Homo-oligomer: A and B are copies of this chain.
Amino acid sequence: MDLARLAHKVTEETGIPVTPRDGERILAAVLASEDIWRIVELARIPILAVCAGLRALAAEGWLVWERGLIRLTPAGERACRELGLSPATELACPRCAGRGIETSLLDDLAARFSRIAAGRPEALQEFDQGYVTEETTIARIAFLLAHGDLAGKDLLVLGDDDLVSLAAALTGLPRRVAVLDADPRIPAFIADAARAEGLRIETYLHDLRQPLPGELQGRFDTFFCDPTESLRGFLVFAGRGISALRGPGGAGYLGLTHAEASLAKWKAIQEELLRWGAVLTELRDGFHRYANWPYVETMRSWPHLPVKRRPGPREPWYRSALLRIELVSEAAVDLGPVEGDIFEDDEAGTT
């Protein structure tokens, strides 16, 4: 089987655009690990494409799974050699976990944040939740700080099971912090914590399928959001964020995975962001790590996994890139209310 045929087969089966190069990514991940979750992490393509690819490779006799592990057969090893493939490697800096950002200045913040976050609401599938590790939230704050998007700025967080608004307000640096979420537990938790800590955070219960409340439009310097990843859902989140910015020089941060978004989807997203008047100024793949969520066995990709291990992954495996965008001209977002499910598309794997 050549990789062009593999890519074609996976695309046929899943509806996800996959290249021969993505086939290499699956094999390079298998050369590096026998663990399904680590393979998904290293392959950096949609989880449903990884599953379909692994099955196709097994049908070809290149792979087997035994006792919950995925192993190359001698034929598979030979094929990898002939293709000139090497094990996937990350070469991530061990000090900053590959993020490039130093957080030691924020150790006090990290300790306070950790104490508060201990009582946080658990992630719910209904809202496509799944929060980043506490360490990741602190790294985000450091990143905003280093880009001049925190101190003295007005910050809006759109959807915040990650509690970015709390971490930001705890620094005492922003001028204004506002947060909205469709899950009533989130604004309630943040408002309670803010009260207990003597912080000022405006909280809103808001479904992003609706345009932002008028008093939040065009009033912020910075927005942060970690969107749901259907193409439509991602663009709704991003568009609402951009509509909150004052104008040129306003900055936005977004999370974007490989696990639920092909590079074709990445491209469609980037095209729209540019069309709306923004430019990408940073794109750090793998910046975010997510704590494992409790609904692994009901997520869409579960029945597709070639090996299932209970109670699910031991280590964080779900990651996402951090994008920073900045408006170069006045925002040109024309997004009215949207209806229906904004969580699903062919590539969604965790909803």
Contacts and interface: CB of A to CB of B under 8 A. Distances in A.
A17 interface: yes
A102 interface: yes
A31 to B, nearest CB: 11
Interface stretch (A84-92, A226-234, A293-301): A84-92
Contacts of A274: 267, 270-271, 274
Given A280-B270, A283-B280, A92 B102 contact: yes
Interface residues of A, number: 58
Nearest to A100: B100
A249 B93 contact: no
A285 B285 contact: no
Nearest to A151: B86
A328 B86 contact: no
- Count the copies: 2
A282 B280 contact: no
A148 interface: yes
Contact of A101 (B93, B101, B151, B271): B93
Interface stretch (A19-27, A54-62, A336-344): A19-27
Interface of A: 17, 19-22, 24-25, 28, 83-86, 88-96, 98-103, 105, 142-143, 145-146, 148, 151-153, 173, 175, 248-250, 263-264, 266-267, 270-271, 274, 278-285, 326, 328
Given A20-B249, A92-B146, A100-B100, 20 more contacts: A19-B248, A25-B148, A86-B152, A92-B100, A92-B102, A93-B93, A94-B95, A94-B102, A95-B96, A263-B279, A263-B328, A266-B279, A267-B274, A267-B328, A271-B274, A280-B280, A281-B283, A281-B285, A282-B284, A282-B285
